[in-house]
Amino acid sequence: MRNLWLWIIVLFWGGVIYYFGGAGFGRAKTQALIDRFRKNPAIWNFLDRHHGKFRAAFHYFEFGLCFFILYLAVTAGSLEWSYLRGLGVWLVTGILAFLDELHQKRTGGRCFRRIDLFHSLLGDTLVMLLVFLGNL
């Protein structure tokens, strides 16, 4: 039963990634959200200056967490390292990151950005490394 919940969480997180890959979360739309803080120059300057860093961090987070949950689902909730499963999950999350960028390209106002794909791959690689190092 525990493994079923992990797979449900994997599907839910995949839906979250798909949702945030839509046109409503492009650079222009998130900039519009930041511009709501123009009345407070200190907050607006900070958010405007670091906008790209927040967007990159979200790629790390969404695909790092994707790797983690999918790895837990594949190993039935165990964090014991398996080279075959770890590589398999890394490949699947990498393919999902590529498909996320393709999805963004097909929605209005978004495009396929190689740097975003790089951030996504780096996010799942870092989490894979943490799982691996946690077993040493």
Write the pLDDT tens digit of every residue in 81-95: 999 999 999 999 999
pLDDT grade for 2, boundaries at 50, 70 and 90: low
pLDDT value of residue 19:
83
pTM, two decimals, is: 0.83
Output 14-17 pairs: Cβ under 8 A, ≥24 positions apart. Answer: 14/66, 14/96, 16/62, 17/62, 17/63, 17/66, 17/96, 17/100
Mean pLDDT of 98-117: 84
pLDDT grade for 20, boundaries at 50, 70 and 90: confident
Closest-CA residue to 28 (of 104, 98, 115):
104
pLDDT value of residue 25:
72
Indicate the residue type of 106. Answer: R
pLDDT value of residue 113:
84
Q: Exposed/middle/buried for 88, CB within 10 Å: 0-12, 13-18, 19+? A: middle
pLDDT value of residue 120:
92
pLDDT value of residue 1:
54
Q: Is the pLDDT of residue 6 over 90?
A: no
Q: What are the residue ranges spanned by the domains of the chain? A: 2-133
